[in-house]
Amino acid sequence: MHRDTGLLTEHEYDLVIIGGGIFAACAAWDAALRGLSVALIEKQDFCSGTSANSFKFIHGGIRYLQHADIIRLKSSCRERSAMLRIAPHLVQPMPVLIPTYGHGTSGKIFLGIGMFLYDLLTLGRNRGIRDRKRQIHWTRFFNKKQVLEEYPDLNQDGLTGAAMFSDAQMYNPTRLVLAFIKSAVAKGAHVANYVEAKGLLRDGSRVTGVQAVDNISGQSMEIRAKAVLNAAGPWSDWLLETALPEVPPQKNVYSRDACFVIKRRFSSPRAIAVQGKTSDPDALISRPARHLFLVPWRDYTLVGVWHVVWKQHPETVTVKEEEVQDFIDEINWAYPSLNLETKDVCMWNAGLVPFGENEEGADNLSYGKRSLFIDHKESDGLDNLVTLVGIRYTTARGDSGKAIDLICRKLGKAGNRSATESTPLAGGDIEDFDALVQQLHRQQTLGLAEDCLRALAHNYGTEAKEVLVLAEQDKTLAATLGDTRVLKAEIVHAVQKEMARELADVVFRRTDLATGSNPGDPVLNECADLMSSLLDWSEEEKHAQLDRVKQRFPAWQ
Residue 54, Cα to own-chain centre: how many angstroms? Answer: 5
Helix %, strand %, coil % of the chain (to 5) = 40, 25, 35
200 located within any domain: yes
302 located within any domain: yes
Same domain, 446 and 512: yes
Q: What is the pLDDT of residue 358?
A: 47
**β partners of residue 225:** 13
Per-residue pLDDT of the chain (557 residues; tens, 9 = 90+): 899 999 999 989 999 999 999 999 999 999 999 999 999 999 999 999 999 998 999 999 998 888 888 999 999 999 999 999 999 999 999 999 999 988 877 788 888 889 999 999 999 999 999 999 999 999 999 999 999 999 999 988 889 999 999 999 999 999 999 999 999 999 999 999 999 999 999 999 999 999 999 999 999 999 999 999 999 999 999 899 888 888 877 778 898 999 999 988 888 999 999 887 765 555 545 555 678 999 999 999 999 888 888 888 999 999 999 999 999 999 999 898 889 999 999 999 999 988 755 455 555 445 556 788 999 999 999 999 999 998 889 999 999 999 999 999 999 998 778 999 999 999 999 999 999 999 999 999 999 999 999 999 999 999 999 999 999 999 999 999 999 999 999 999 999 999 999 999 999 999 999 999 999 999 999 999 999 999 999 999 999 999 999 999 998 76
Contact in structure between 328 and 276 (CB atoms under 8 Å)? no
521 located within any domain: yes
Same domain, 148 and 268: yes
Measure Cα distances from 177 to 54, 405, 476 in Å.
Answer: 12, 21, 29
Same domain, 507 and 452: yes
- Phi/psi at 268 (nearest 5 deg)? -75, 140
Same domain, 160 and 292: yes
155 located within any domain: yes
45 located within any domain: yes
**Residue 354 DSSP symbol:** E
- Phi/psi at 293 (nearest 5 deg)? -120, 140
Same domain, 268 and 344: yes
Q: What does the alpha-carbon distance between residue 124 and residue 420 come to, in Å, rounded to a whole number?
A: 17
Q: What is the pLDDT of residue 365?
A: 47
Same domain, 345 and 382: no
Same domain, 191 and 161: no
Same domain, 403 and 448: no
- Nearest-CA neighbor of 27 among 339, 376, 501, 390? 390
* CATH number of the domain residue 390 falls in: 3.50.50.60
Same domain, 235 and 258: no
- 3-state SS, one letter per residue, for 265-302: CCCCCCEEEEECCCCCCCCCCCCCCCEEEEEEECCEEE
H or E segment at 450? Answer: helix 450-460
* CATH number of the domain residue 146 falls in: 3.30.9.10
26 located within any domain: yes
Same domain, 225 and 343: no
* CATH number of the domain residue 511 falls in: 1.10.8.870
Same domain, 119 and 226: no
421 located within any domain: no
158 located within any domain: yes
Range of the domain at 158: 69-170+253-354
Angle at 102 between CA 100 and CA 106, to 5 degrees: 50
Q: What is the pLDDT of residue 68?
A: 86
Report how many domains make up the chain. Answer: 3
Q: What does the alpha-carbon distance between residue 109 and residue 103 come to, in Å, rounded to a whole number?
A: 7
Same domain, 240 and 321: no
Neighbours of 332 (CB within 10 A): 14
